[in-house]
């Protein structure tokens, strides 16, 4: 009988330990609520035993420095991770295989816990989705865009369309996020204006968020485009939607949006996008840039300036042939002008908030002036001249200033990249005519040459050639820019005039050293130095017609060895129209559509 007290004492201690474990677990659960500036996301949404799990920690108040995994036995493992961005900052990692059981992921900064997330790997593990736009989901969207188009900055990143990007599980954090193999054979081939909308809608579909778009006009010579009431898609918030449901919506979306959707007036609030301040804290990846002539880019990544390498701002765009390319942002790719018929500049999607069960509305400009969850509405860009705009953007990309030679080399590299992209575009047209040797692509009239449908849209290059003409002017105008904006350059003991002379001498040598190759009509290649391309700037005013042979499109002159292989010419009536429109290119002034 003397052993009974010991028995009861052991039971009491066991109960205490059990309650202590429960209390500790509850405390862990409470501590794991993600309410701070760092959030952890996993993919797929409901991990299965034996399958990989991707992890992304995203922070809005500073870098996350480490990720760790705690398994259901309490064992803690540091995870190898890849760091991106800032702001927002992100860390990405992956579990090659998740065993059955409960897991806890911890994100920390300099040894201090920033956020945690718990999940269970099993065959049945229903987790909730985000369901509302806020600072955390906007940061997740930004980090997702950055990872989607991530690659070393010197890499030429180009895809035939958006489809291979989204079907790449290594790039796309949300690949098979719903566990339905929903990315297999997903038909997504957006063009220029469709790209930002398609990316936003895809993300909303996966994460469970509402998304909106408006039908807009194209504006006039004196007024920017105006839009109607928003179409708000809420189906994604009500549960997991199938691929067919998203495909149906995406077709509705791309049939409605066009370049005018992004060129709306900066002070207009009946819009899908609104302007933001020109600073590093607001221009996150995913930000849209709308130029006044209709081209649209999506910010992909900021590459910080170092002692050995200039900074870069990288963006992606889609072309009429549906190709998607990442490129450097500079004056040759990012056109800014003060015009009465467009609101150009950096913009973000107007957010939606829930007002009642199943009811949503978009926020107005005054509500976005000082909202804690969303980027503030700003008319700063409306007050800038083009020269001031480019100077401020250059300072954001390279806050420590540019060595003049370094600045020249970066500009030259960007121009060569642009020329090489045009090589691909011209080659695409040549491939079309090899399959259709007797066809003639109809040429639209007037401003429609910049945007139409069918083979002309796929294979002509008027927009690209106008940007190339501008890019050539930017490179050759760099010496004068040093005089106008010496504050952007590290001149040392040099005067601006001395630096200008140095760059002019450097330019004369470098344009003879770099070159590109294009394919002539007979399949042979022809080499053009950058000096050749610069000298042919006037020829690019009438080189966009795919009915002309490649030699003409690269500015070859009759009675030359280069031209002798040309076998195809645009009809005389098309040449007459091109002569009429040549002024637009000479003045780099795209007409209103």
pLDDT at 456: 92
Query: 10 Å Cβ neighbour count for 360?
Result: 21
Nearest CA to 337 among 269, 389, 268? 389
Tokens of 187: 């038909």
Q: 520 phi and psi, to 5 degrees?
A: -80, 175
- Integer angstrom CA distances of residue 557 from 519, 536, 551: 16, 10, 8
Nearest CA to 107 among 61, 172, 72? 61
pLDDT at 592: 65
Compute the distance between CA of residue 454 and CA of residue 549 in angstroms, rounded to an integer. Answer: 19
Cβ proximity of 113 and 40 under 8 Å: no
Contacts of 224 (CB under 8 A, 6+ apart): 263, 264, 265, 268, 340, 341, 342, 343
Cβ proximity of 433 and 568 under 8 Å: yes
Compute the distance between CA of residue 354 and CA of residue 134 in angstroms, rounded to an integer. Answer: 11
Quick one: CA dihedral 21, 27, 30, 35, positive or negative?
negative
Model pTM score: 0.85
Tokens of 542: 């009438």
pLDDT at 319: 83
Directed axis angle between helix 572-586 and helix 462-476, to 10°? 40
Q: How far apart are the first and last CA of the chain?
A: 99
- What percent of the chain is helix, strand and coil (3-state, nearest 5)? 35, 20, 45
pLDDT at 61: 94
Cβ proximity of 488 and 395 under 8 Å: yes
- CA neighbours within 13 Å on the CB side: how many for 572? 0
Compute the distance between CA of residue 200 and CA of residue 296 in angstroms, rounded to an integer. Answer: 14
Buried b (16+ CB within 10 A) or exposed e, 134-154: bbbbbbbbbbbbbbbbbeeee
Contacts of 84 (CB under 8 A, 6+ apart): 90, 91, 92, 143, 146, 147, 150, 301
Buried b (16+ CB within 10 A) or exposed e, 438-460: eeebebbeebebbbbeebbbbbb
Q: What is the largest CA-CA distance in the chain?
A: 118
> What are the beta bridge partners of residue 233?
211
- Integer angstrom CA distances of residue 353 from 212, 230, 256, 358: 11, 13, 23, 11
DSSP 448: G
DSSP 569: -
Cβ proximity of 104 and 120 under 8 Å: no
DSSP 402: B
pLDDT at 22: 34
Compute the distance between CA of residue 307 and CA of residue 75 in angstroms, rounded to an integer. Answer: 41
pLDDT at 129: 74
Compute the distance between CA of residue 284 and CA of residue 279 in angstroms, rounded to an integer. Answer: 10
Query: 10 Å Cβ neighbour count for 233?
Result: 23
Cβ proximity of 411 and 474 under 8 Å: yes
Q: What is the DSSP string of 139-208?
A: HHHHHHHHHHT---TTS--EESSSHHHHT-TTT-TTTTTTSS-TTTT------TTHHHHHHHHHHHHHHT
Tokens of 437: 């040797």
Compute the distance between CA of residue 531 and CA of residue 432 in angstroms, rounded to an integer. Answer: 29
Torsion of CA 465, 469, 474, 476, to 10 degrees: 140
Q: Can you tell me whether residue 555 is helix, strand or coil?
A: coil
pLDDT at 363: 96
Contacts of 63 (CB under 8 A, 6+ apart): 83, 86, 89, 109
- Integer angstrom CA distances of residue 3 from 8, 195, 219, 470: 9, 77, 93, 94
Compute the distance between CA of residue 315 and CA of residue 536 in angstroms, rounded to an integer. Answer: 28
Per-position pLDDT tens, the chain of length 593: 334 344 434 434 343 333 333 333 333 444 577 778 999 999 999 998 889 999 999 999 999 999 999 988 889 999 999 999 889 999 999 999 888 889 999 999 999 999 999 999 886 656 667 779 999 999 999 999 999 999 999 898 999 999 999 999 999 999 999 999 999 889 898 988 999 999 999 999 999 999 999 999 988 878 999 999 999 999 999 888 889 999 999 999 999 999 899 999 999 999 999 999 999 999 999 999 998 888 899 999 999 999 888 899 999 999 877 889 999 998 888 889 888 888 999 999 999 999 988 889 999 999 999 899 999 999 999 999 999 999 999 999 999 998 999 999 989 998 998 999 899 999 999 999 999 999 999 999 998 898 766 899 889 999 889 989 999 999 999 999 999 999 999 999 999 999 999 999 999 999 999 999 999 999 999 999 999 999 999 999 999 999 999 999 999 999 999 999 999 999 999 999 999 999 999 988 877 65
């Amino acid at each position: 009988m003397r052993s009974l007290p010991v028995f009861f004492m052991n039971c009491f201690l066991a109960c205490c330990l059990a309650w202590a474990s429960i209390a500790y677990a509850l405390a862990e659960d409470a501590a794991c609520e993600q309410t701070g500036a760092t959030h952890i996301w996993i993919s797929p949404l409901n991990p299965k035993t034996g399958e990989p799990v991707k992890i992304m920690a995203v922070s809005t108040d500073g870098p996350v420095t480490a990720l760790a995994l705690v398994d259901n036995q309490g064992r803690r493992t540091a995870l190898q991770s890849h760091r991106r961005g800032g702001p927002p900052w992100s860390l990405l990692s992956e579990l090659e295989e998740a065993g059955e059981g409960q897991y806890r992921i911890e994100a920390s900064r300099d040894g201090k816990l920033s956020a945690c997330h718990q999940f269970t790997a099993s065959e049945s593990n229903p987790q909730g989705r985000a369901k509302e736009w806020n600072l955390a989901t906007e940061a997740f969207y930004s980090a997702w865009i950055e990872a989607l188009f991530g690659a070393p900055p010197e890499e030429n990143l180009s895809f035939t369309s958006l489809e291979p990007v989204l079907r790449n599980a290594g790039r796309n954090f949300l690949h098979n996020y719903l566990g339905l193999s929903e990315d297999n054979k997903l038909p997504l081939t957006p063009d220029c204006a469709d790209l930002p909308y398609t990316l936003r809608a895809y993300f909303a579909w996966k994460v469970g968020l509402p998304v909106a778009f408006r039908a807009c006009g194209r504006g006039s010579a004196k007024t920017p485009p105006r839009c109607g009431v928003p179409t708000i898609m809420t189906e994604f918030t009500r549960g997991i939607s199938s691929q067919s449901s998203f495909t149906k919506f995406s077709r509705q979306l791309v049939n409605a949006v066009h370049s005018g959707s992004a060129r709306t007036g900066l002070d207009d609030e009946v819009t899908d996008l609104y302007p933001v301040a020109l600073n590093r804290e607001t221009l996150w990846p995913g930000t849209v840039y709308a130029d006044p002539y209709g081209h649209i880019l999506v910010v992909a990544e900021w590459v910080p300036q170092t002692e050995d390498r200039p900074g870069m701002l990288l963006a992606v765009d889609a072309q009429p042939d549906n190709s998607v390319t990442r490129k450097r942002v500079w004056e040759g790719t990012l056109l800014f002008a003060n015009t009465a018929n467009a609101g150009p500049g950096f913009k973000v999607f107007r957010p939606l908030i829930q007002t009642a069960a199943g009811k949503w509305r978009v926020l107005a400009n005054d509500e976005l002036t000082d909202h804690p969850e969303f980027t503030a509405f700003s008319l700063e860009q409306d007050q800038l001249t083009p020269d001031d705009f480019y100077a401020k953007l250059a300072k954001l990309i390279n806050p420590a200033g540019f060595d003049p030679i370094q600045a020249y080399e970066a500009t030259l590299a960007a121009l060569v990249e642009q020329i090489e992209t045009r090589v691909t575009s011209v080659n695409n047209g040549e491939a079309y005519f090899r399959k259709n040797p007797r066809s003639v692509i109809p040429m639209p009239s007037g401003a429609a040459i910049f945007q139409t449908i069918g083979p002309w849209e796929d294979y002509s290059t008027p927009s690209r050639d106008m940007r190339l003409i501008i890019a050539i002017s930017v490179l050759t105008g760099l010496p004068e820019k040093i005089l106008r904006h010496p504050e952007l350059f590290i001149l040392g003991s040099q005067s601006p005039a001395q630096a200008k002379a140095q760059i002019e001498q450097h330019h004369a040598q470098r344009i003879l050293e770099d070159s590109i190759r294009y394919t002539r009509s007979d399949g042979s290649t022809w080499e053009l130095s950058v000096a050749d391309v610069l000298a042919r700037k006037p020829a690019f005013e009438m080189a966009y017609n795919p009915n002309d042979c490649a030699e003409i499109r690269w500015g070859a002159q009759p009675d030359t060895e280069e031209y002798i292989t040309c076998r195809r010419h645009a009809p005389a009536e098309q040449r007459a129209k091109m002569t009429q429109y040549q002024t637009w290119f000479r003045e780099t002034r795209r007409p209103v559509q």
